[in-house]
A = this chain, B = another copy of it.
Amino acid sequence: MKRFLNTRETIVTEAIDGLLLSSGGNKLARLDGYPHIKVIVRKDWDKSKVAIVSGGGAGHEPAHAGFVGAGMLTAAVSGEIFASPSVDAVLAGILAVTGDAGCLLIVKNYTGDRLNFGLAAEKAKQMGRKVEMVIVADDIAIPDAPKPRGIAGTLFVHKVAGHLAEKGASLDVVKQAALEAAKATYSLGISLSSCTIPGQEPQRRSGEKAHRQAELGLGIHGEPGVATIEPKSVQHVVDMMVEVLDKKLPGEHKFALLINDLGAVPPIEMSVVANEVVNRFGKRVEIVFGPGPLMTSLDMNGFSLSLVELNDQRREALLSPVEPIAWIRGTKLETPTILPMPKFAHLAQFEASHNDRAAALVKAVCEELIAKESELNALDAKVGDGDTGTTFANAARSVVEKFSAKALPLNNPSQLCLAVGELLGKTMGGSSGVLMSIFFTAAGTEMAKSNSWHAAFEAGIGAVQHYGGAKAGDRTMLDAMIPAIAELKSGSLNAAADAAEKGAIATASMTKAGAGRSSYVGSTNLIGIQDPGATAISFAFAAAVKAS
């Protein structure tokens, strides 16, 4: 299985059933004619206004069934993949929704669709219904084509006709507006690969060169386009498309632009396309629809651009809200708003100060961590990647540097914590650096409120657990920190250091690391080895005791 489908024979009816069972589906109904008659209608329709009916081959979803709903289509008639629905299917659709106000058929310019919808229209007329048909031929790819194809620009015609019909306009008015919208619409597609028709082998151009090619101006069934190009970038592709479109577009006009995903272009790429296209057209585009998948061609890796000349009637119709969720609400283009960056505090803002005890503690802890670099690295080599010593030593060296430069706010415990937090976030590296930065930042913030080392460090521990996701027993530095900081409540640094050491030793019997790099190491390799992070913490506490 290369595509998400069950059987080729059931894909269309299953997709329609899926539509009825998903977002917006409870506003729709279908006619009881499976598998031959595949007609989707508005469930709330009372035939009081002009009915708008469209359809054609399947494979272009969400077109057309996805656009059935107030303000757009009244009914959609689906054929099989890329094959026109039968005359009976179209006739069933017309009869199901057409009241005294009549019905407008909107048909893409393919012979099969024209003839089947056309004959159905004549049969419906013979049965006394008022039926008109508008043919959309918006594809401008092939110069002087006698019968240009109908592609995604058809949706503009649906929208204009649907809006007027919903407002209660007469069939003549709706038809005239649809005709004019169809004439004022210009579309062009491009694709990096054709589509995979269910039950057939993928259509691939052969050879390495083919991988670099794109088809410009192709149809929505993978029909050949006007040229095969070697695209270099989205910019290059869009430049070429706009050049071709510009030859047909009337000057001095404002347009609405529809950016249509042909099936398999992911949203991030479609946004890159949108950026390029809108910038390229500049002020000529007043309203943008999309990007998004509106008229697809199965899994085609391509997109199409459709433009329609705006007038007051079409501007209002295109921007009016509609019920179908497949329609992407348009927006009037504005110059993007760029807001100034908020200002935020950095280390430089802390005021340096001196305090003997703090100086001694900071110095002792840092020197100890620098001294234990090799020992901690060796320990980490057994259970991790051997850099715990260097990570802590580097962090300590950066603090020593600021200390020696007398740049630390030693006499302000809150600011000292914040300064160390700021510094470690930049110098320590890796997840440990961010975690230690979180610890000291949270501690400094709490210290400003409570002026208690115990409360401050508890806050730091809490933040490390919350954001880091590790807990006691996970074989991390927390196994030394948590018991040590708990002892600080009594005010005894000695007791805290003892607890840190015991905690670090206890990690040697923890055979499953719940977090951190050791979580990737098998448990037999962990037995008897202390966690290097917890050990570093116990060294730091021991050094603090000596200095105090």
Contact B125 A442 (CB under 8 A): yes
Within A399-456, the residues touching B (CB, 8 Å) are: 418, 421, 425, 431, 434-435, 437-438, 441-442, 444-445, 448
A169 within 8 A of partner (CB): no
Contact B267 A263 (CB under 8 A): yes
Contact B418 A119 (CB under 8 A): no
- Nearest B residue (CB) for A288: B22
The complex places the Cα of A545 from the Cα of B55 at a distance, in Å, of: 43
Q: Contact flags (1/0) for A297-315 with B, using CB distance below 8 Å?
A: 0111101000000000000
Contact B467 A117 (CB under 8 A): yes
Q: Contact flags (1/0) for A8-41 with B, using CB distance below 8 Å?
A: 0001101111111111111111111100010001
Stretch binding the partner chain, chosen from A270-278, A375-383, A390-398: A270-278
Q: Name the contact of A126 in the complex, choosing from B214, B444, B468 (C-beta under 8 A).
A: B444
Contact A23 B289 (CB under 8 A): yes
Within A285-340, the residues touching B (CB, 8 Å) are: 288-293, 296, 298-301, 303, 325, 328-334, 336-340
Contact B19 A271 (CB under 8 A): yes
Contact A127 B345 (CB under 8 A): yes
Supposing A4-B234, A233-B7, A467-B118 touch, asked if A445 and B332 sit within 8 A by C-beta, the answer is no
Stretch binding the partner chain, chosen from A57-65, A215-223, A522-530: A57-65
A interface residues, how many (CB within 8 angstroms): 139
B-chain residues with CB within 8 Å of residue A88 when the two chains form the complex = 344
Supposing A1-B214, A118-B438 touch, asked if A339 and B32 sit within 8 A by C-beta, the answer is yes
Q: Name the contact of A267 in the complex, choosing from B87, B214, B271, B293 (C-beta under 8 A).
A: B293
Q: Name the contact of A234 in the complex, choosing from B5, B263, B271 (C-beta under 8 A).
A: B5
Give the interface centre of A59, A111, A115, A303 by most chain B CB atoms within 10 Å: A115
B-chain residues with CB within 8 Å of residue A331 when the two chains form the complex = 22-27
Contact B14 A467 (CB under 8 A): no
Q: Name the contact of A31 in the complex, choosing from B3, B235, B341 (C-beta under 8 A).
A: B341
- Nearest B residue (CB) for A132: B466
Contact A146 B296 (CB under 8 A): no
Stretch binding the partner chain, chosen from A89-97, A154-162, A170-178, A479-487: A89-97
Give A317 Cβ to nearest chain B Cβ, in Å.
Answer: 17
Give A133 Cβ to nearest chain B Cβ, in Å.
Answer: 7
Supposing A23-B290, A29-B337, A296-B267 touch, asked if A467 and B119 sit within 8 A by C-beta, the answer is yes
The complex places the Cα of A133 from the Cα of B467 at a distance, in Å, of: 8
Q: Contact flags (1/0) for A134-160 with B, using CB distance below 8 Å?
A: 010000000000110000000000000
B-chain residues with CB within 8 Å of residue A21 when the two chains form the complex = 274-275, 278-279, 288, 333, 336
Give the interface centre of A22, A289, A332, A341 by most chain B CB atoms within 10 Å: A22
A interface residue numbers (CB < 8 A to B): 1-7, 11-12, 14-33, 37, 41, 43, 58-59, 61-62, 66, 87-88, 91-92, 95-96, 109, 111-112, 114-119, 121-123, 125-127, 133, 135, 146-147, 192, 211-212, 214, 231-235, 237, 259, 263-276, 278-279, 288-293, 296, 298-301, 303, 325, 328-334, 336-342, 344-345, 418, 421, 425, 431, 434-435, 437-438, 441-442, 444-445, 448, 463, 466-469, 514-515, 519
Extra inter-chain contacts (20) besides given A18-B291, A23-B288, A118-B467, CB under 8 Å:
A4-B237, A6-B235, A11-B268, A15-B268, A15-B269, A17-B275, A18-B276, A18-B278, A23-B331, A30-B336, A33-B341, A59-B268, A95-B344, A96-B341, A114-B467, A115-B431, A122-B442, A122-B445, A122-B463, A127-B345
